[in-house]
Amino acid sequence: MLKEYRLQIICVFLIILVFLLIDSNKPKTVSSSDYETSNEKLIEVDLENVIEEVEKKTASENEKKAEQDNKTANENEKEPEQDNKTEITVYLTFDDGPSSASHEILDTLQQFNAKATFFMLEPAMRAYPDMVKRMIKEGHAVGLHGVTHDRDKFYQSEQAALNEMRTGQATLEQISGVRTHLIRSPFGSVPYLTDSFRTVLENDGFKLWDWNVDSSDWNLSADEYVQHVISQVEELVQAGGTPIILMHDRGETASHLSILLSYLQEHGYQTSVIDESAEPYNFNCYNRCYRIGK
Ligand SMILES: [Zn+2]
Across 32-41, 151-160, 205-214, least confident range: 32-41
Q: Give backbone dihedrals phi and psi of 194, rounded to 5 degrees, phi first.
A: -85, 175
- Do residues 77 and 233 make contact, with C-beta atoms less than 8 angstroms apart? no
Residue 280 preceded by cis peptide, ω within 30: no
Q: How far is the CA of 171 from the centre of ligand 1 (A)?
A: 18
CA angle 102, 230, 253 (to 5 degrees): 20
- What is the DSSP secondary structure assignment for residue 276, as one 8-state letter? T
Q: How many CB atoms lie within 10 A of CB 41?
A: 10
Using one digit for the tens of pLDDT, what is the confidence trace for 166-207? 999 999 999 999 999 999 999 999 989 999 999 999 999 999
Q: How far is the CA of 186 from the centre of ligand 1 (A)?
A: 5
Q: How far is the CA of 145 from the centre of ligand 1 (A)?
A: 7
Q: How far is the CA of 213 from the centre of ligand 1 (A)?
A: 15
Q: Give backbone dihedrals phi and psi of 213, rounded to 5 degrees, phi first.
A: -130, 115
Q: How far is the CA of 187 from the centre of ligand 1 (A)?
A: 6
- Do residues 274 and 93 make contact, with C-beta atoms less than 8 angstroms apart? yes
Residues found in the chain: 294
Cα maximum dimension of the chain: 159
Q: How many CB atoms lie within 10 A of CB 37?
A: 12
pLDDT > 70 in the chain, percent = 68
Q: How far is the CA of 146 from the centre of ligand 1 (A)?
A: 9
pLDDT surpasses 80 at 224: yes
Q: Which long-range contacts (CB under 8 A, 24 or more apart) does 152-160 make?
A: 154/185, 154/186, 154/192, 155/192, 155/193, 155/197, 158/196, 158/197, 158/199, 158/200, 159/200
CATH number of 89-271: 3.20.20.370
Rounded to the nearest 10°, the torsion over CA 31, 32, 37, 43 is 130
Using one digit for the tens of pLDDT, what is the confidence trace for 40-98? 444 444 546 544 664 555 555 655 555 555 444 444 444 444 444 457 999 999 999 99
Determine if the pTM surpasses 0.75.
no
Q: How far is the CA of 112 from the centre of ligand 1 (A)?
A: 25
Q: How far is the CA of 96 from the centre of ligand 1 (A)?
A: 5
